[in-house]
Structure 1
Amino acid sequence: MPTPIYLSPPHLSGQELALLQQTLASNWIAPLGQNLDTFEQQVANYCAMPYALAVNSGTAAIHLGLKLLDVQPGDYVICPTLTFAATANPIVYQGATPIFIDSEPQTWNMSPEWLAEALAHCRRANLPLKAVIVVHLYGQPAAMTEITELCRRYEVPILEDAAEALGASYQATKAGAWGDVGVFSFNGNKIITTSAGGMLLVKEEVLRQKALYWATQAKADLPYYHHEAIGYNYRLSNVLAALGIAQMQVLEQRIAARRANFMYYQSALREYSQIQFQEEITHSFSNRWLTCLTFTDKSLPDKIRMALAVSHIEARPIWKPLHLQPVFQHFPYFGEQIAEDLFARGLCLPSGSALSPDELAQIVAIITGQLPQG
């Protein structure tokens, strides 16, 4: 059986084992220790944000971020429809209502036009709107100038879901540093990984301390167990933070490799007019976490995905829009059918940072073999 080619597998730096051995030898294996402090500082410094809190998933970071923004039962939170469910799930955890926004066709991110419509509607209807979640889809930054201006005008804070976009930037500001709160994921498929993990970025120490309190079961600073609030078991392990330290050392290399993958695919497929790639808009820098494209013929994505699967190569459809998901379809939606169309015509190609030239050539050969000739 040939070696499988996965969509976005982990890629170790070679330094992880030594750091793990040091951590185990120290016996600091709980969610407390020097590795956590170091990893948090690395990410905060990289993004030019004052404070960071390492947690056990990007979802946990979003949940804590919404709590920091005082999202409560009966409130509303705006978020894009074209994203992973983890963006919206914490809204519902808090008893709030998500309002889904359509994509714009260039970057596939939240449409500023439809965001403006939703913000105006919330004001007219006097809805308690507590936050706007912005996602940088597949590593491509959203149109943050327009989005930030709209949110400032309507006095609504931004939670920046940069789970897929570590290392991306817009107008020289790193993804994760535009919002009032920033979030990253270090899941096994992300550009760097801690196996499972996430990071919350904030601008005030008091906010970090509040999030840390919630993330460690809301235990009061007393000699006995005393709780005045509901807490969560959200802190990252000091062991997994060792992986993060090692991975941060190669982040720029991983970004360069993913961008090289994109450029290879784009160059190899440039003559096929039925293929369009997710755009990198002016003043933005995508980390190209995943290389994603659309086909004019809606039958091609699944046809190509299955042809790749025969050779044990993994490709995936674009995210299914959340307003089409059974669990979310009763919530408000502002838009047309841009996200639906992207879902129908889109495909995510293998994008791992360890892909070899031969593997890339094999993938392209299978794709072109399924395209109409002439």
Structure 2
Amino acid sequence: MPQRIYLSSPHLGGLERGYVDEAFASNWIAPLGPHVDAFQEEFARCVGAPYALALSSGTAALHLALQLVGVGPGDDVLVSTLTFSASVNPIRYLGATPVFIDSERASWNMDPALLCEELEARARAGRLPRAVVVVHLYGQSADLDPILAACGRHGVPVVEDAAEALGSTYKGRHPGTLGRAGIFSFNGNKIITTSGGGMLVSSDETLIRHALKLSTQARDPAPHYEHSEVGYNYRLSNVLAAIGRAQLRVLEERVAARRANHAYYVSALSSLPGVTFMPEAPWGRHTRWLTTVTLDPARFGADREAVRLALERENIEARPVWKPMHLQPVFSAFPCRGGQVAEDLFEHGLCLPSGSNLTREELARVVEVVRAVHQGR
């Protein structure tokens, strides 16, 4: 069996060990410490956010963001349906109801026109949502201007889930920094990683300060342990922040490598009938965190699942596009505006191995399998 090719494996360089050794030498092992402070400052500068807070996961960051924009029991929150469940779970943590919004074709992200329709209908009914969560998928920003404008007209805060989109741009700015709050993930499969971790960013200093308090068990200022709110244990450790600082320094290299992977796949596969790549929308840079294709079975000669299984037989990991949240058993009872675009992308979409540490030989292995399925071998 040939060596396994993963979808998106961690890519460490030569800098991480030095930062981690420094953390050990200083005995700053527990959460908080100089690497956490430095990582927050450096990340904020990188994305152009005034304030940043390093946390244990992107999910923790989204949970705090939603709580701090006022989401609570009985509220509605509009959210992209084509996403991972971590975009929706924090809505349920807070006792609120997710309302799903379909994708558009230009970026596969939330459809601004459908969002406007939902907001207008809710305004007429006197039931505006407490927040909107827009997700930036696979390394590409949603079309934020019309989304922010629509939400602004109705006074609804926007929280950006940029877990998959670090390094992408929207009209020269970084998605995750244009709404009331934005979140990023440093999970092991992301474009940079701290093994596990996340970041909350905002231009609202009060929001970040309150999030800091909540993330450290909501301890009030007192010489003893005093608590007036329920808090969480959500801080990032100094050791993991050390890894993050090293990873952040090579972010542009990682983006360039993933875009090069995508260019290789396009060159090798785009001539095959029925193969279409996720488009790069005209408003910004797509990092190609994951290279994603859709396959038309009638033209290609096999469906997405046949290709995935053929890759797996060769010890190559590939995954379907996210199954829409409105089709998930845990969320199927909640409303959805549209849904057909997301359903179609799920039925036909496949994520190909995309790690920044892939070799040309490994990319060629992937291409060989895809071409063989098309040729019926």
What is the aligned partner in structure 1 of residue 216 from structure 2?
216
SS in 2 for 1:312: coil
SS in 2 for 1:133: strand
Whether 1:138 and 2:143 are equivalent positions in the alignment is no
SS in 1 for 2:297: coil
Structure 1 residue 2 displacement after superposition = 2.2
What is the aligned partner in structure 1 of residue 338 from structure 2?
335
What is the aligned partner in structure 2 of residue 367 from structure 1?
370
Higher mean Cα deviation, 116-125 or 57-66?
Answer: 116-125
Does the 8 Å CA contact 2:180/2:204 hold for their aligned counterparts?
Answer: no
Cα distance in 1 for partners of 2:277, 2:296 equals 11
Cα distance in 1 for partners of 2:339, 2:182 equals 28
What is the aligned partner in structure 2 of residue 326 from structure 1?
329
Structure 1 residue 21 displacement after superposition = 1.1
Cα distance in 1 for partners of 2:15, 2:271 equals 41
What is the aligned partner in structure 1 of residue 187 from structure 2?
187
SS in 2 for 1:173: coil
Cα distance in 2 for partners of 1:323, 1:163 equals 20
What is the aligned partner in structure 2 of residue 275 from structure 1?
275
Give the counterpart letter for 1:184 in structure 2. F
Does the 8 Å CA contact 1:75/1:127 hold for their aligned counterparts?
Answer: no
Does the 8 Å CA contact 2:122/2:128 hold for their aligned counterparts?
Answer: yes
What is the aligned partner in structure 1 of residue 156 from structure 2?
156
Whether 1:356 and 2:359 are equivalent positions in the alignment is yes
CA deviations over 1:126-168 (Å, ceiling 9, x no partner)? 2241111111110111111221111112221110100000010
Tell me how large the CA RMSD over aligned residues is: 1.1
Cα distance in 1 for partners of 2:125, 2:24 equals 56
SS in 2 for 1:339: helix
SS in 2 for 1:137: coil
Which aligned runs of 4 or more in structure 1 are off by greater than 3 angstroms? none
Cα distance in 2 for partners of 1:333, 1:283 equals 26
What is the aligned partner in structure 2 of residue 316 from structure 1?
319
Give the counterpart letter for 1:320 in structure 2. K
Between the two proteins, the alignment pairs up a number of residues equal to 373
What is the aligned partner in structure 2 of residue 241 from structure 1?
241
SS in 2 for 1:240: helix
What is the aligned partner in structure 1 of residue 101 from structure 2?
101
Cα distance in 1 for partners of 2:340, 2:49 equals 36
Give the counterpart letter for 1:36 in structure 2. V
Structure 1 residue 26 displacement after superposition = 0.6
SS in 2 for 1:221: coil
SS in 1 for 2:134: strand
What is the aligned partner in structure 2 of residue 304 from structure 1?
307
Using structure 2 for the length normalisation, give the TM-score: 0.97
Does the 8 Å CA contact 2:101/2:339 hold for their aligned counterparts?
Answer: no
SS in 2 for 1:285: coil
- Matches for 1:43-192 after TM superposition, within 5 Å: 43-192=43-192
Cα distance in 1 for partners of 2:133, 2:203 equals 17
Cα distance in 2 for partners of 1:225, 1:347 equals 51
Structure 1 residue 345 displacement after superposition = 0.4
CA deviations over 1:153-196 (Å, ceiling 9, x no partner)? 22211101000000100100112111110100000000000000
Structure 1 residue 372 displacement after superposition = 4.7
Give the counterpart letter for 2:337 in structure 1. F
Structure 1 residue 336 displacement after superposition = 4.0
Cα distance in 2 for partners of 1:114, 1:101 equals 7
What is the aligned partner in structure 2 of residue 38 from structure 1?
38
Unaligned runs of 5+ in 2: none
Give the counterpart letter for 1:289 in structure 2. W
Does the 8 Å CA contact 1:74/1:128 hold for their aligned counterparts?
Answer: no
Using structure 1 for the length normalisation, give the TM-score: 0.98
CA deviations over 1:229-257 (Å, ceiling 9, x no partner)? 11000000011000000101110000000
Cα distance in 1 for partners of 2:166, 2:219 equals 31
SS in 2 for 1:61: helix
Structure 1 residue 55 displacement after superposition = 0.2
Cα distance in 2 for partners of 1:249, 1:294 equals 33
Cα distance in 1 for partners of 2:23, 2:247 equals 15
Structure 1 residue 297 displacement after superposition = 1.3
Cα distance in 2 for partners of 1:184, 1:286 equals 16
Give the counterpart letter for 1:25 in structure 2. A
